[in-house]
A = this chain, B = another copy of it.
Amino acid sequence: MPVLFAHLLPTLLEDADLSNSTCVVIDILRASTTMVHALGNGARAVIPCLNVDDAHAAADKFPASARLLGGERHGQLIPGFDLDNSPLHYGPEVVSGKTVIFTTTNGTKALWSCRTAAEVIVGAFVNRKAVCQALKRSGRDVHLICAGTDGQLTAEDILFAGSIVQLLVDQPGSNWIAGSVQTRMAGDYFAARGADPAVFRKTFFDSLGAQNLLELGMEADIERCMQPDLFDCVPHWNASTGELTIR
């Protein structure tokens, strides 16, 4: 029976052996949502980089016409970059066919924290159904990695992880097992605060991640990141090439 683990922060991975597992990287506001937008809207690949220097080095390997530099520091456009971290700026007319070199504060770190996994995918509300289907198909144990905000737990990531617990474990006849207290807590949190749309919305907007964005006037981004199932695609990360693509 497959086991589902939720980790409320990358630092709470607790030395888990990921080698036979699928990891789902979760940074709802906004890195995972934006990466799904990029690939769902036709980008060839996204290359997540830990820092700005790495991003420039990666960009130098592509002709200027074939790549875009995207990401954020402190929620805002990085000087010299083409795109910030708003999913609304990664439309098909911008990203189609391009390679997006991408660096953000929390999401990229979360991705690297599970580089030893058999499979690493990116999950967000905007591709949740596709993620669940992929996890059910694979049959592997699953680790949900919440990126958090500046080292702190943040509600929007945990709501998403909790919704996956509900969709996989807490279903009649499910053969999935919740693997830890963190997993149960995420599920209970979503059951208490995710089921009613008004409570979900308030919890999402009250989150640390959303409050940071509201201060920057980015309410439209928050709205977009809450939308379920806008894309029927699952970004897979190849730790060797460093590329996220849709298989």
* A residues lining the B interface (CB < 8 Å): 8-9, 11-12, 14, 151-155, 158, 180-182, 184-186, 188-189, 191-193, 207-208
Q: What is the copy number of this chain in the assembly?
A: 2
A155, A184, A193, A207: residue with the most chain B Cβ atoms closer than 10 Å: A184
**Which residue of B has the minimal Cβ distance to A155?**
B181
Point out the residues of chain B lying under 8 angstroms from A158, CB to CB.
Answer: 181, 185
Checking B11, B14, B189 against A185 with a beta-carbon cut-off of 8 angstroms, the contacting residue is: B189
Point out the residues of chain B lying under 8 angstroms from A11, CB to CB.
Answer: 11
Q: How far is the CA of A151 from the CA of B15 in the complex (A)?
A: 10
Query: Could you write out 18 A-B pairs with CB less than 8 Å apart?
Result: A8-B8, A8-B185, A9-B12, A12-B153, A14-B152, A152-B180, A153-B182, A154-B181, A155-B184, A181-B189, A181-B207, A184-B189, A184-B193, A185-B185, A185-B188, A185-B189, A188-B192, A192-B192
Q: How far is the CA of A180 from the CA of B151 in the complex (A)?
A: 13
Q: Interface majority SS on A: helix, strand, loop or mixed?
A: helix
A155 to chain B, nearest CB (A): 5
B181 near A208 (CB under 8 angstroms)? Answer: yes
A180 near B192 (CB under 8 angstroms)? Answer: no
